[in-house]
Chain A
Amino acid sequence: MIPLSHYLILSATLFAIGGAGVFLRKNLITILLSVEIMLNAVNLTFVAFGRYAGNLDGQIITFFVMTVAAAEAAVGLALVIALFRHRESLNPDAFTSLKW
Chain B
Amino acid sequence: MEAYLRPAVIGVMIFVVFNLLIVASAILVLAERKIMGFMQQRYGPYLVGPHGMLQPIADILKLVFKEELRPKGADKLLFTLAPILSIVTAFVAFATVPFGAETTFFGLLDEPIKLGIADINVGVLVIFAVTSMGVYGIVLAGWSSNSKYSLFGGLRASAQMISYELSYATALAAVLILPNVPSLSLRDVVDAQAGYFSGWLSVVPHWFVFLQPVGFIIYVIAGVAETNRAPFDFPEAEQELVAGYNTEYSSVRFALFPQAEYINMVTMSAVATDLYLGGWHGPFLPVEYGWIWFLVKVGIILFTYIWVRWTVPRYRYDQLMKFGWKWLFPAAVLNLIATAALVLYFNA
A and B touch in the complex (CB under 8 A): no
